[in-house]
Chain A
Amino acid sequence: MAMDAVTSETAPPGVGSRQGVMPQRAAAGRVRLADLSAQGEPWLWCLGGALALGIVMILGFLVLVFWNGVVTFWPKPIEVVRLTDDSVIAGLPTRSARFRVGDQVLAALPAEKRAEIAANGGFADRTLYRVGNYDLYGEDFRWAADFEVVDRSRPMDLVLVERLEWGVFVGRIAAFTRGGETVRVDDPTSPALAEAWRTARARWHEIRRIEKGEIGTVNHHLEQERLRLRRALLEHPDGGPAAEAARARFAERESHYQAQYEALAARAQALKAQHEAETVTLIDVNGREKVQPLGTLVRYHAANQLTLLGKLDVYLSRWAEFLTDEPREANTEGGIMPAIFGTVAMTLLLVIAVTPFGVITALYLREYARQGRLVSIVRISVNNLAGVPSIVYGVFGLGFFAYIVGGSIDQLFYPERLPSPTFGTGGLLWASLTLALLTVPVVIVATEEALAAVPRSMREGSLACGASKWQTIRNIVLPRALPGIMTGIILAMARGAGEVAPLMLVGVVKLAPELPIDGFFPFIHLERSFMHLGFHIYDVGFQSRNSEAGKPMVFVTTLLLIALIFAMNLTAIIVRTRLKRKFAGSQF
């Protein structure tokens, strides 16, 4: 096969070669074997198959993530399943799978079921139910094989309750208390229940606002005073009037804040007592009861009587909670607002750091440097910077930024907080600087491309009119290259937002108590550790108590992260194509 191809290609046309006479033959519909192998049809199909495989993989991946991410919050019906051993389970059917039935299980089965399984090649189907009620039974999920199911039903009065703790509850709402009296609930959609629940929820939000907001503020001020005293004592180690004054001031302020704190705490306590007093009684399908404060129910709905509109309402409310609330239950429930916030804050900081560095290097390469060995080295460096594994940047960021630079900053400016580090450990600033280093090649390459696309004639025109080199660059070249630079920055953001490995070393945490931006001076706290969408995926998927329970959450987070990154990429691509079109005529 190969020999033929060589002959046909190297021989000059017309000198008796097969190629030379092909046209007539083809016209006559007659071919030789060599003509077929010259077409390389089998190879073409392999090449095409590879491309098709790539596309199928990508599409499959995207559909998987998209579908799972989108349906996660859609309310599912509750099924009550009676099993052959007379036990009853109620839960949300999560997924089905085939499995090979174990020998012991098989032996215990009646003959006709055994025959059925044998006919299936030893396989049977089973369904995974999310049964919830973790506090009662200690498991969130349960497999039910088809051969152990007696019947399935969907009673209308079953309720899915999402709670602050212990995950979901599947069962019925039996009663709730209102002002000391117990009210029986017959219909889970009763307005009285809804009314009581709304009040309880409002109270719970109020408690949280007092505890986190107001008491948090007082604590913050108190901590500031404590640090100020420590600083004063450090500056005057041998006592003296200054130290005494600082002590006196601290004592005065402390009592002031202590009083404030007590007042707030008393208010919160009163509300809490009320919160505890108003309870709801939940009963599961086996009749086991659970009494808990009504305010701890995040959401409840009678899953089997929801209309489409009702489902949509639950769906949207879950998305709203997801996007705006804080995580609960070791991150497997609730929202991911802090992670979104952390990702965005880090990405924006990254842009501030990466832009000047990248643009200046690109300017150097395109406008200033003389082509030669040095530029060659710079290019190799840029490509190495792009090729160095991200984890190495993390190591560098931890060792250099956090420990050495941050450690020195702590020594100089925050001695009162030592030995607990302020900047001397991972944090937002160090994470963004590390990622800036990681993404700078992206900006360099894109900016270079954009600079190259600015026609030389424009530069020459400017210079000929007497502008200096810098004036030309500033007024003529850079404005033209701006869309390209923007492309680079957006691509850098996309790369930075998706990177997780280095962040694990320089400041990402699974649960950050405080956001990096808040209402206390200096408002932006660059030293704080933060949460991140990518790390959230890793954490929930791999570190949580039950990866099955976390999976839906991971899928939604993944969807969000991918959507964010693809949106950024798409913007960059659109900007780039516009730019290309704009300068297409002026290239040559």
Chain B
Amino acid sequence: MSADPAVASAAPPETGRVPRRQNRVTRRSVLIIDRLADWSITVGGLLVIVAVFGIMLFLAQVTVPLFTGAALESERSYPLRTDGRRTLILNVDEYRTIAFALLEDGTVTVAHAPTGTPLAGQKLDLGPSPVSAFGRTIRRDNLLIGFADGTVRFGTVSVTAEIADADRVPEGARQLDERDRTDGRLVYSRIPGNQVRIIGLRLQLDEPVRVTPDGAAIIAADYRVGGTAERPVRSFVTVDANGKVRLSRAESRLNLMTRQMRTTVANAELPALPEGVRAKAVLLTETADTVLVGTEDGTVFRYDSRDFRNPRMVERAAVLSDGEMLTGLYYLVGEQSLVVTGSRGTTDVFFLLERRNARGSDGFELVRAHRLENQGAPIGYVSASPRSKMFVTADASGGVWVRHSTSSRTLLKLQKTVDAASGYSGLVMAPREDGVIALTAQGEATAWWISAPHPETTLATLFGRVWYEGYPEPSFTWQSSSGSDSFEPKLSLVPLIFGTIKATVYALLFAVPIALMAAIYTSEFVHHRVRSVVKPAMEMMASLPSVVLGFIAALILAPIVEDWVSAVLMVFIALPLSLLGAAYAWQFLPRHVALRFGGLPKFALMFVFLLIAFQLCLWTGGLLERLVFAGDIKAWLAGTIGGPMGFTTLLLMPLMLAVVVWMSSRVLSDRLEDAVGATGRLTAGLVALGRWIATLVAALLLALFAASLLTGLGYDPRGGVVGTYVQRNTLVVGFAMGFAVIPIIYTIAEDALNAVPEHLRGASLACGATPWQTATRVILPTATSGVFAAVMIGMGRAVGETMIVVMAAGNTPIMDWNIFNGLRALSANIAVELPEAVRNGTLYRVLFLAALTLFVMTFVVNTLAEVVRQQFRRRAASL
């Protein structure tokens, strides 16, 4: 830029005024302000970088805890006064206040869980016969104790928790730690709001019930409670010393007159185990429809007990490798995952799945779904979390590992030196998954307080295939919530990323050709007056709120498209045909006429032919439906009628056209040229038209041939790019999103084409090139990078577009390329689920990860576009 004297003189008067001769030293304040402005504007300018990277870092920082596994917060060991007696169960309450153990003589020893301070114990009177087995429900409170004389007793050892005002704490209560005080028996925990939580123990034991008529000792038992609170149905399964497995059902009825519980027990004997195998563990489901018996040699016998009176063995599965002894069978919450532990440290998770040729006679078989890290020593105890698929395993050499089934991950490895011969005698995971307590045979308890806020997420579960409960195989699945407590969240981002890509691809397939062609036409072939109207109008459309497009797409467009599917498909055929036909007809016009009407009238004519094409589509849609889709397109799409031949032909047409055009231009063109020679305009036009029609026919024949070949090979596009029709589908999303993206691509591409220096255009035209040749051989190659940037920016917008996909895409997280099916995009998923997500919960952080993924995707695309664009500008400036 050169200084222009005219403008300089037009500068404001205060700079032009001749200063009076006075102090020529610049005022300090001016200098200071100048320095200040310098400094603050530079900082302000760089703030943009901070903003971009700040957003990225913040999103990343929120997602980091997803991958950190578990952390050990504190560790404390203290004695639990077992005095050499065997421990039946070890438990801790929900608030990690008291830890207690039920011993074989019925004593319950209690300690303050965080500090180990002993509290007053209680005792259950178990009677003379020694305890030989016990089982308990998943909720841990209900116990079944089996005795050596063949009887069982039901009992509960439960924690009572009550909220009360702080003044309920008795005078002289002893301080245990900063939260808890005790009167020796109850623990008072201070909670916010000037209140206390009073924690105590309640014990209860029913009368003995005889199970084995011959008095054989019960060696293994499992227990479940179903039914209602008023009329509980207690199911339990026992194995006696003779190897007999019995399923029993006890029904208790409260006699309203006498206020007495009457318990009746019904027994059913299960088919006997083979000779010589010893039952090691037994499991029962809550509905008592399946019984599992594990034997020491690593075999699991599965019984179908849906018919209570007549249970039958349906499967015999070897669950461990040869020679490894089974040490335990456990259900995780929900009773869908079976944990099998072995004497060589194996921890495997099995699912019961329906399979073709299944091992089980009922069509199901136990399938190893997860193989967890080997612990190296026999695993003695497992304790499952009551709220998720997390569990702890303790081995004989003192290792206590915190694991998660879904992610197959070992979250934390805890270690304690124990006596190798006796090992542990109890293990429990705190109900809120925030602690593990292990008890050695010598009576020393160790409490590890841990934090594992997001055990189910790893990079592998978020981006890889995961085998979820009840699924026939590992899969990419997104299902973040459900009504049930034992639900396994399925948080794979892959279906969402796929949905985003699918929507983007279909939208760009629609938008890019239209936008680029329109941009070339606007920049090179229309009158500048048309351009000065069309360009700003398009720019204005770029700021159209996407919620409006989404609304129109979902509530107006989707029903229309549904009614006129075949007519809509017809557009892709009729529109180019009608325009090209018009073009060939135009070639017949005498040169002076063509030149005279080459401007606006020709453009107007294009509109006319466009509308003609649309009308044609309405008329011929039915024809297409009859010809290709067997008369009913939706039934055809669903695969119930018709063959794939016709549609495959249509799909192949563009490819075949390209092939034919390429071949004819290589082989035929020059010969045809020589054969025809210089001729009248009419003849030349006729020849061109003839060649075009011949090309079409040849392509159609080729496509038919290829399609019949493909059909013969068994190819069917249904199930691929097309398939069952859903009203909110990708076609509609593609239209709407294309509508949103076209103005952006168009504007930027047009700018790039327009930025090509005028002298290149002039030179080309002066050399005798036609405008068409100039556009394709000179302008487009020069502007390629700018046009590329336009497409990339359009893509960035399509990737992040939210409202259109929320409203028009149906939001089903499925992975297929079917254009007539819906999708769930990352952005829509965030918009739908984040308002409901608990702050700092797993879903919250996973959704932040989704946002980060989106950010990174667009960051790459945009940075690429901007780098290309900067290069283009530099090149364009140097031309």
Interface residue A383 (Cβ < 8 Å from any Cβ of B) = yes
Closest chain A residue, CB of each to CB of B517: A50
Q: Are A537 and B579 in contact (CB under 8 A)?
A: no
The reply to whether the CB of B463 lies closer than 8 angstroms to some CB of chain A is no
Instruction: Assess the B58–A26 pair: CB atoms within 8 A.
Output: no
Q: Kindly report which residue of chain B lies nearest to residue A424, judged by CB atoms.
A: B839
Q: Which of A26, A35, A368, A391 contacts B800 (CB 8 A)?
A: A391
Q: Contact: B548 with A562, CB < 8 Å?
A: yes
Q: Which residues of A contact B518 (CB under 8 A)?
A: 47, 50-51, 53-54
Q: Which A residues, 362 to 406, have Cβ-Cβ distances below 8 Å to chain B?
A: 363-365, 367-369, 374, 376-396, 398-400, 403
Say yes or no: B546 contacts A470, CB within 8 Å. Answer: no
Give the docked Cα–Cα distance between A469 and B550 (Å): 49
Binding stretch for chain B, among A130-138, A481-489, A497-505: A497-505
Q: Which of B197-205, B243-251, B269-277, B519-527 contacts A (4 or more CB under 8 A)?
A: B519-527
Complex CA distance for A541 and B521, rounded to whole angstroms:
38
Name which residue of chain B comes closest to A564, CB basis.
B545
Contact present for A388 and B55 (CB under 8 Å): yes
Q: In the assembled complex, which residues on chain B have CB atoms less than 8 Å from the CB atom of A8? A: 769, 773
A462 with B11: CB separation less than 8 A: yes
Listed stretches B285-293, B358-366, B667-675; interface member: B667-675
Instruction: Using known A-B contacts A51-B518, A379-B870, determine if residue A500 contacts B803 with beta carbons closer than 8 Å.
Output: yes
CB < 8 Å neighbour of A501 from B2, B52, B678, B831: B831
Instruction: Kindly identify, within residues 532 to 568 of chain B, every residue whose CB is under 8 Å from any CB belonging to chain A.
Output: 534, 536-541, 543-548, 550-552, 554-556, 563
A320 to B10, CA, bound (A): 50
**Is B580's CB within 8 Å of the partner chain A?**
yes
Evaluate contact between B44 and A468: CB separation under 8 angstroms.
Answer: no
In the complex with contacts A30-B678, A380-B866, A384-B863, A395-B851 CB distance below 8 A: yes
Q: Is the CB of B543 within 8 A of A50?
A: no
CA separation between A31 and B688, bound complex, in Å? 12
List of B residues within 8 angstroms of A32 by Cβ: 673, 676-679, 684
Q: Per a CB cutoff under 8 Å, which of B3, B548, B556 touches A457? A: B3
Contacts A467-B15, A537-B551 given; does A460 touch B55 at CB 8 Å: no
B607 close to chain A: CB less than 8 A: yes
- Does A139 reach chain B (CB closer than 8 Å)? no
- Contact yes or no, B661 A1, CB < 8 A: yes
The complex places the Cα of A403 from the Cα of B10 at a distance, in Å, of 53
Q: Which of B521, B526, B669, B851 contacts A392 (CB 8 A)?
A: B851
Nearest CB in chain B: distance from A21 CB, A: 9
Contact A40:B776 (CB < 8 A) given known A56-B610, A61-B552, A561-B545: yes
The listed residue (A55, A382, A455) touching B4 by CB distance below 8 A is A455
When distances are taken between beta carbons in the complex, the residues of chain B under 8 Å from A501 are 546, 802-803, 806, 827, 831
From the candidates A36, A51, A400, A491, name the one contacting B534 in the complex (CB within 8 A): A51
Chain A contacts of B677 at CB under 8 A?
32
Of listed A356, A461, A491, residue having the most chain B CB within 10 A: A461
Among A198-206, A251-259, A566-574, which stretch is in contact with chain B?
A566-574
Establish whether residues B42 and A368, one from each chain, have CB atoms under 8 Å apart when the complex forms: yes
Across the interface, B38 reaches (CB within 8 A) one of A368, A444, A547, A565, namely A368
Asked whether, in the complex, the Cβ of A399 is within 8 Å of the Cβ of B848, the reply is yes
Q: Are A541 and B555 in contact (CB under 8 A)?
A: yes
Task: Give Cα A462 to B10, complex, Å.
Answer: 11
- Once A364-B42, A394-B831, A476-B11 are accepted as A-B contacts, the answer to whether A495 and B543 lie under 8 Å apart by CB is yes
- A541 touching B807 by the CB < 8 A rule? yes
A26 touches B587 (CB 8 A): no
CB atoms of B673 and A470 under 8 A apart: no
Contact for B587 among A30, A36, A360, A504, CB less than 8 A: A36
Q: Decide if A3 touches B669 in the complex (CB within 8 Å).
A: yes
Asked if B3 contacts A33 (CB within 8 A), the reply is no
Interface size class of A (residues with CB under 8 A): 35 or more
**Contact between B55 and A396, CB atoms less than 8 A apart:** yes
Kindly identify which residue among B7, B33, B34, B863 contacts A458, using a CB–CB cutoff of 8 Å.
B7
Question: Which chain B residue has the least Cβ–Cβ distance from A5?
Answer: B773
Q: Please judge, given known A-B contacts A48-B603, A391-B851, A569-B540, whether A31 and B679 are in contact too, CB under 8 Å.
A: yes
User: By the criterion CB–CB under 8 Å, are B606 and A52 in contact?
Assistant: yes
Known: A50-B514, A395-B851, A456-B1. A34 touches B673 (CB 8 A): yes
CA distance A393 to B851 in the complex (A): 9
A476 and B15 in contact, given A379-B866, A389-B802, A534-B547 (Cβ under 8 angstroms): yes
Cα separation A535 to B831 with both chains bound (whole Å): 12
B606 & A475 in contact (Cβ 8 Å cutoff)? no
* B14: chain A residues within 8 A (beta carbon): 475
A46 touches B517 (CB 8 A): yes
Q: Which of A29, A460, A469, A554 contacts B3 (CB 8 A)?
A: A460
Residue of chain B at shortest CB distance from A460: B3
Cα A588 to Cα B7 in complex, Å, equals 11
Instruction: Given A36-B684, A56-B610, A565-B544, check contact A363 B45 (CB 8 Å).
Output: yes
Given A9-B769, A368-B41, does the pair A388, B859 have CB atoms closer than 8 Å? Answer: yes
- Residue from the set A3, A390, A562 with the largest chain B CB neighbour count within 10 Å: A390
Is A174 among interface residues, defined by CB-CB distance under 8 A?
A: no
Say yes or no for A186: interface residue by CB 8 A criterion. no
A9 to B776, alpha carbons, bound, how many Å? Answer: 11
A355 at the binding interface (Cβ < 8 Å) = no
How many residues does chain B have at the interface if contact means C-beta atoms less than 8 Å apart? 147
- Assembled-state Cα–Cα distance A369/B41 (Å): 10
- Which of B555, B854, B870 has its CB near the most chain A CB atoms (within 10 A)? B555
Q: Using Cβ atoms and an 8 Å threshold, which residues of chain A touch B670?
A: 3-4
Chain B 21-45: CB-based contact to A (< 8 A → 1; otherwise 0):
0000010001101101110111011
Please judge, given known A-B contacts A500-B546, A501-B803, whether A36 and B688 are in contact too, CB under 8 Å. yes
Q: Is B694 an interface residue (CB 8 A)?
A: no
B19 within 8 Å of A (CB atoms): yes
A548 shortest CB reach to chain B, Å: 9
Cross-chain contact of A383 among B53, B522, B862 (Cβ < 8 A): B862
> Is A422 located at the chain interface by the 8 A CB criterion?
no
Query: What is the CB-to-nearest-CB distance from A426 to chain B, in angstroms, rounded to a whole number?
Result: 9
0/1 string, B783-805, CB within 8 A of A gives 1: 00000000001001101111100
> Which of A22, A365, A491, A504 counts the most B-chain CB atoms under 10 A from its CB?
A504
The answer to whether B831 touches A475, judged by C-beta atoms less than 8 angstroms apart, is: no
**Residues of A contacting B800 with CB < 8 Å?**
387-392
- Beta-carbon contact of B854 and A541 below 8 Å: no
Q: Are B859 and A384 in contact (CB under 8 A)?
A: yes
Cα separation A535 to B548 with both chains bound (whole Å): 10
Complex Cα–Cα for A473 and B33 (A): 12
Instruction: Tell me the nearest residue of chain A to B798, going by C-beta.
Output: A389
* Contact among A37, A437, A505 for B834, CB-based, below 8 A: A505
Q: Which of B15, B552, B575, B800 has the most CB of A within 10 A?
A: B15
In the assembled complex, which residues on chain B have CB atoms less than 8 Å from the CB atom of A470?
Answer: 33-34, 36-38
Distance in angstroms from B654 CB to nearest chain A CB is 13
| Chain B residues numbered 36-68 whose CB sits less than 8 Å from any CB in chain A | 36-38, 40-42, 44-49, 51-53, 55, 58-59, 62
* 1/0 contact string of A498-518 vs chain B (CB within 8 Å): 111100110000000000000
Confirm or deny: A522 has a beta carbon within 8 angstroms of a beta carbon on chain B.
Answer: no
Write out the residue numbers on chain A whose beta carbons fall within 8 Å of the beta carbon of B541: 58
**Residues of chain A lying within 8 A (CB to CB) of residue B478:** none
Q: Are B858 and A388 in contact (CB under 8 A)?
A: yes
Bound Cα distance A121, B46 (Å)? 68
Does B582 sit at the interface, judged by CB under 8 A? yes
A471 within 8 A of B: yes
In the assembled complex, B756 has its CB within 8 A of some CB on chain A: no
Chain A to chain B: the 5 pairs with minimum beta-carbon distance, closest first:
A389-B800, A364-B45, A498-B545, A40-B772, A360-B44
Task: List 23 contacting pairs A-B, 8 Å CB cutoff, sorted by A.
Answer: A3-B669, A37-B688, A42-B583, A44-B772, A47-B521, A53-B514, A53-B610, A364-B42, A368-B45, A378-B46, A381-B52, A387-B858, A387-B865, A392-B59, A396-B851, A457-B1, A468-B34, A469-B37, A469-B38, A499-B545, A534-B547, A561-B548, A565-B545
Since A47-B525, A53-B575, A440-B48 are in contact, a sample of 8 more A-B pairs with Cβ atoms closer than 8 Å, ordered by chain A residue number, is A9-B773, A367-B41, A391-B831, A391-B851, A392-B855, A437-B55, A470-B36, A501-B806
